[in-house]
Structure 1
Amino acid sequence: MTQVVLGENEGIESALRRFKRQVSQAGILQDVRTKRHFETPLQKHKRKAVARRKQNRRMRQHFK
């Protein structure tokens, strides 16, 4: 769970920026997007396969 404690002289804008940064680093929004709709096992397998291919492509380019 992400939480932000306001400092004594800290403005709402800076606290909101820190909160948004923490949420994006924790991957909360990405998790919500993936769990928004029911995903069949076949769709889940395909999505993970695409992610693996994408990751492998990045790794191959990195080590050339």
Structure 2
Amino acid sequence: MAGIIVYEGESFENALRRFRKSVERAGILRDVARHRHYEKPSERRKRRLINAKKRMYRRMKQGQ
């Protein structure tokens, strides 16, 4: 769980900015998006295989 300590005299905008950074670093929004809908294990394997192929093609293209 992301959380921050609001210091005395700190503006709301600064505290909100620090909180958003901590949420982003923790990967909470990415996790929420991933769990928004149930993904069957077969669909997860298929997605990961497609992503691996894309990465491989990108790496091969960079090597040329």
TM-score > 0.5 by shorter chain: yes
| Structure with max Cα Rg | 2
Deviation per CA, 1:18-43, whole angstroms, max 9, x where unpaired? Answer: 11111111111001101111111111
Alignment of 1:11-26 (within 5 A): 11-26=11-26
User: Would you say how many aligned residue pairs link Structure 1 and Structure 2?
Assistant: 63
Percent identical pairs in the alignment equals 40
Deviation per CA, 1:5-60, whole angstroms, max 9, x where unpaired? Answer: 00111011111111111111111100110111111111111222233344445666
The one-letter code of the counterpart of 2:42 is L
Question: Which consecutive unaligned segments of at least 5 residues does structure 2 have?
Answer: none
Moved over 6 A (4+): none
- After TM superposition, the score normalised by the length of structure 1 is 0.76
Partner Cα separation in structure 2 for residue 4 and residue 59 of structure 1: 39
Distance 1:28 1:54, change over 3 A: farther
Distance 1:9 1:49, change over 3 A: same
Question: Which consecutive unaligned segments of at least 5 residues does structure 1 have?
Answer: none
